């Protein structure tokens, strides 16, 4: 199975770049599954319903979220009613929506996509390790699902690595989101799970993690709240990871970074 995961979409620049590029990437990489994190798509804070609809129309099979899931209140009914719009699974019971979804992919195959949120330097949610283990116990990689993708939305690299090693051999891909900086540690772990600490963002990198640099930098100089941060509006770099899995085992056989457009060094996998 050919899988593409794109990191946090930030603002209009990131949205427009992903919506323009994703249809071509589906063809170029012969994608079976495309997943995007869009929790910062609306002005850097949350996701609006029409934006989610545009991303689905552009070719996203699943949209994942994170700590800004509820920033646009009008998205809450859509989260509750749309299984392919996935919020972190370790929110307390009774929270609208779902933390995972099984989607049909070409070739009469199925893929499980789940989203969890870390706790180090983040909100004090339920344990992401235990809630993920409970979810994975409902499925069998290489059995009822041919691939399993985990988006771990977390601040600390140590927590992301510990999470990935905890589920090595049980899932196809663990990919980190939230820090908006693509890490250079993409690898296949000893048990066969592909891993990258952070996929990076889809947004303007002439910025402070996607936000206009002047206002963001001023907060560090003054240590006082300033004007509301706004996304940088320059050309976006689309960042993510491309993974190929074995249909029999569900484990990864290949992982490569993707960086396209904007300011960062360019790398697009070839098939």
Is pLDDT of 80 > 90? Answer: yes
What whole-number distance in Å separates Cα of residue 9 and Cα of residue 236?
A: 10
- Residue 91 CB partners (closer than 8 Å, separation 6+): 99, 117, 125, 126
pLDDT of residue 224: 74
Does residue 222 lie in a domain region? yes
Does residue 269 lie in a domain region? no
**Cα atoms in the Cβ-side hemisphere of radius 13 Å centred on 35:** 36
Categorize the per-residue pLDDT at 265 as very low, low, confident or very high, splitting at 50, 70 and 90: very high
pLDDT tens for each residue of 38-69: 999 999 999 999 999 999 999 999 999 999 99
Is pLDDT of 268 > 70? Answer: yes
Does residue 271 lie in a domain region? no
Is pLDDT of 133 > 80? Answer: yes
pLDDT of residue 226: 67
Give CA angle at 232 (231, 234), nearest 5°.
140
3-state secondary structure 64-82: ECCCCCCCCHHHHHHHHHC
Does residue 236 lie in a domain region? yes
pLDDT tens for each residue of 198-235: 999 999 999 999 999 998 998 888 877 767 899 999 99
Write down the pTM of the prediction. Answer: 0.96
Mean pLDDT of the chain, nearest integer: 96
Categorize the per-residue pLDDT at 147 as very low, low, confident or very high, splitting at 50, 70 and 90: very high
pLDDT of residue 227: 72
pLDDT of residue 195: 99
Does residue 224 lie in a domain region? yes
What is the domain count for the chain? 1
Does residue 266 lie in a domain region? no
Active-site residues, by number, are 68
What whole-number distance in Å separates Cα of residue 271 and Cα of residue 256?
A: 11
DSSP 8-state class, residue 212: -
Range of the domain at 207: 2-260
Q: In CATH, what number is assigned to the domain containing residue 135?
A: 3.60.21.10
Mean pLDDT of 117-128: 96
Does residue 109 lie in a domain region? yes
Pull the structure tokens for residue 147. 């691939």
Does residue 158 lie in a domain region? yes
**Cα atoms in the Cβ-side hemisphere of radius 13 Å centred on 164:** 30
């Amino acid at each position: 199975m050919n899988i593409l995961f794109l990191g946090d979409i930030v603002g209009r620049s990131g949205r427009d770049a992903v919506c323009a590029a994703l249809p071509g990437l589906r063809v170029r990489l012969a994608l079976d599954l495309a997943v995007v994190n869009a929790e910062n798509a609306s002005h850097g804070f949350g996701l609006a319903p029409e934006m989610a609809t545009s991303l689905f129309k552009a070719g996203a099979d699943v949209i994942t979220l994170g700590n800004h899931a509820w920033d646009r209140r009008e998205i809450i009914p859509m989260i509750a009613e749309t299984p392919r719009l996935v919020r972190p699974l370790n929110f307390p019971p009774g929270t609208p929506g779902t933390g995972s979804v099984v989607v049909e992919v070409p070739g009469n195959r199925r893929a499980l996509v789940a989203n969890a949120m870390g706790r180090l330097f983040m909100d004090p949610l339920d344990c992401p390790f235990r809630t993920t283990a409970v979810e994975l116990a409902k499925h069998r990689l290489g059995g009822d699902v041919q691939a399993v993708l985990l988006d771990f939305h977390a601040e600390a690299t140590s927590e992301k690595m510990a999470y990935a090693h905890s589920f090595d051999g049980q899932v196809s891909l663990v990919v980190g989101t939230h820090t908006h900086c693509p890490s250079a540690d993409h690898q296949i772990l000893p048990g066969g799970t592909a891993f990258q600490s952070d996929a990076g963002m889809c947004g303007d990198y002439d910025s402070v993690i996607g936000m206009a640099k002047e206002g963001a930098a001023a907060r560090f100089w003054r240590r006082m709240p300033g004007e509301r941060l706004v996304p940088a509006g320059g050309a976006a770099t689309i960042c993510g990871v491309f993974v190929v899995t074995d249909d029999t085992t569900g484990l990864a056989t290949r992982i490569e970074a993707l960086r396209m457009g904007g300011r960062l060094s360019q790398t697009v996998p070839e098939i």
